Amino acid sequence: MDFVNTIKSKAEQYRAYTADVLSQLVKTKSYSSKEEDVCRLIKRLCEEAGFDEVRFDGLGSVVARIGKGSKSIAFDAHIDTVEVGNMKNWKFDPFSGEVKDGLVYGRGTSDQKGGAASMIAAGRILKEMGYAGDYTLYFTFTVMEEDCDGMCWKYLIEEEKFKPDFVVSTEPTSCRIYRGHRGRMEIRIILRGISCHGSAPERGVSAAYKAARAALAIEKLNNDLQPDDDKFLGKGTITVSQMDVKGPSQCAVADYAMIYCDRRLTWGEDAELAISQVRKYVCEATGDNPEDVVIEMPDYEKVGWTNKEYSQELYFPTWKIPQDHKLVQSGIKSYEKLFDKEPTVDKWTFSTNCVATTGRHNIPAIGFGPGDEAQAHAPNEITRVEDLVICSKFYALLPYVLEGKC
C-alpha cells in the first residue's frame, strides 16, 4: 500500500468531518473538572470512528485504542478548557463552534480540542487502512490539564500502570515539531509581622511592607536567572501572581502577608533549587531569619467529574529530548514525506502534560498540534481547518514511519 498518498487522500476526504468534530467539541463546554459531557461525546465519536476499544479511566479521561502491537504510542489531547473571562472581549459566542472561511471559532479550538479532533480523524483513517502494525496506538483525551498539567498522566502511569513507549502531545505547535519545554512550579510565601494600632505604626512590624520588599526581591531574582547551557529552552522565570495582606482590622498594622509565585524552570533547575533561591532573596530583602519564613509548594486537590480523589504537589518537571532521537527523526521524516519540505523543530513556551510523561517518567515525547500557542487562553480563539488536516495526516503516518514501512 502507498501509505503516504492513501493517508493524504483520506485526510482531505475527511476535511469537513474533522472540522465538524471540532465544532461539536467546542459547543460542549468543558471547564477543568467538569468535562463529563465532552468526554461522553468523545467516547461516542471514537466508537463511531471504529476504534477497537474506548474506555474511561478513573479520573474520567477517555482512552481509545487501535491495534495490538508489542510496542505502544499514545497521542494525547487535554479536552478541558479555561473559562472565557470577560465576555466584552469576545466578538463572537465562545461556544458557537462556527466553521467559516477556513477557521473554526470558539473556546478550545487551539487549546486544545483541535488536537483531539485531528486524533479522532487519524484514528478513523487508520481503521479504514486496517492498521495492524508493530504498535498499539492509544488516543488519550485527558482531563484537568488546565488546572494541573500532567496530573491526568501521573494517574494513568502511577495508578493504572499505563506507560506507553512514546507520546505525541497534540497541544498547539502551529504544525511544528516540538521536543521540549520548561517546567514549572507554584510557590507560596507566608510572611509574619506584629500588629499594633494604626495610629502608631512604629510600635509594630508591618507584614505589608515586608511583602512589598519581598515582591521586589522576586523581581530581582527573575532578572538574575540564567538560561540552560545549550540555550534551547531559555532562561527560567519567576513572577508574583497573587498577594494578600491582612491584619486585625482596617485600623491596624498588617501582621500577615501571602505572596504567590509562578516559577518556570529551565533545564537543570528543580523544585529544591527554586525554593532555596526564593528563600535567599526574600530573607535578604525582609531581614527575616530563614526559619521564620514559610516558603512552600502547595498541593492540587480538586475533585474531577468522576469524584475520584487524587492530588499532587504543584510541581511540573522540565523535559526535552535530543534532536537525533528516533521519535524526533521519525516525526521529521513523516512531515517531509507528507509535505515535501523540512519541518521547524522547536519548543513550547507554555507547559503541557509532558511534564508527567517525560519530565517525571522519562517517556520520550514530541509535540505536533494544530493552532497557535498565542491563541491559548485568549479571547476570540480560533484555529485553522487546514491545520486540522495537516495534523490528522501526521498522526496517521507516524506509526508507519516508526516501523520503517515508508
Residue 223: name the closest of 180, 281, 279 by CA: 281
Instruction: Per residue of the chain (406 residues), give pLDDT as tens.
Output: 899 999 999 999 999 999 999 999 999 999 999 999 999 999 999 999 999 999 999 999 999 999 999 999 999 999 999 999 999 999 999 999 999 999 999 999 999 999 999 999 999 999 999 999 999 999 999 999 999 999 999 999 999 999 999 999 999 999 999 999 999 999 999 999 999 999 999 999 999 999 999 999 999 999 999 999 999 999 999 999 999 999 999 999 999 999 999 999 999 999 999 999 999 999 999 999 999 999 999 999 899 999 999 999 999 999 999 999 999 999 999 999 999 999 999 999 999 999 999 999 999 999 999 999 999 999 999 999 999 999 999 999 999 999 999 9
Contact status, residue 385 vs residue 26, Cβ threshold 8 Å: no
- pLDDT at site 1: 86
121-142 CB burial, b ≥16 within 10 A, e <16: bbbbbbbeeebebbbbbbbbbb
Instruction: Verify whether residue 80 is a known catalytic residue.
Output: yes
Q: What DSSP designation does 298 have?
A: P
Residue 63: name the closest of 109, 19, 119 by CA: 119
From residue 125, alpha-carbon distances to 16, 229, 312 in Å are: 14, 42, 37
Contact status, residue 369 vs residue 391, Cβ threshold 8 Å: yes
- pLDDT at site 21: 98
* φ and ψ at residue 148, rounded to 5 degrees: -155, 80
Tell me the residue ranges of DSSP E strands in 143-194: 166-169, 177-178, 180-181, 183-192
* CATH architecture, range 3-181+318-402: 3-Layer(aba) Sandwich (3.40)
Residue 354: how many CB atoms within 10 A of its CB? 35
CATH topology of domain 183-300: Alpha-Beta Plaits (3.30.70)
Q: Please identify which of the residues 145, 149, 228, 387 carries the catalytic annotation.
A: 145
Q: How far apart are CA 174 and CA 156, in angstroms?
A: 28
Cell numbers for 158, please give them.
502511577
Residue 224: how many CB atoms within 10 A of its CB? 11
- pLDDT at site 403: 97
Fold match, 3-181+318-402 / 183-300: no
Q: How far apart are CA 361 and CA 283, in angstroms?
A: 34
- pLDDT at site 141: 99
Sheet holding 166-169, edge to edge: 53-56, 62-66, 135-142, 71-78, 166-169, 365-367, 177-178, 345-346
* φ and ψ at residue 235, rounded to 5 degrees: -80, 155
The domain segmentation of the chain, as residue ranges, is 3-181+318-402, 183-300
First to last CA, the chain: 10
Q: How far apart are CA 196 and CA 205, in angstroms?
A: 8
Residue 275: name the closest of 255, 292, 257, 290 by CA: 290
- Report the amino acid identity of residue 43: K
Q: How far apart are CA 215 and CA 286, in angstroms?
A: 10
Contact status, residue 317 vs residue 183, Cβ threshold 8 Å: yes
Q: Give the residue ranges of DSSP H helices in 225-354.
A: 271-286, 326-339, 354
**CA 187, 193, 194 angle in degrees (round to 5)?**
160
- pLDDT at site 82: 98
Contact status, residue 99 vs residue 19, Cβ threshold 8 Å: yes
Q: Please identify which of the residues 80, 186, 372, 373 carries the catalytic annotation.
A: 80
Segment 83-112, tens digit of pLDDT: 999 999 999 999 999 999 999 999 999 999
Q: How far apart are CA 3 and CA 347, in angstroms?
A: 29
Residue 303: name the closest of 35, 28, 27, 26 by CA: 35
Q: What is the largest CA-CA distance in the chain?
A: 85
Q: How far apart are CA 190 and CA 259, in angstroms?
A: 7
Question: Locate cell 508591618: which residue?
Answer: 206
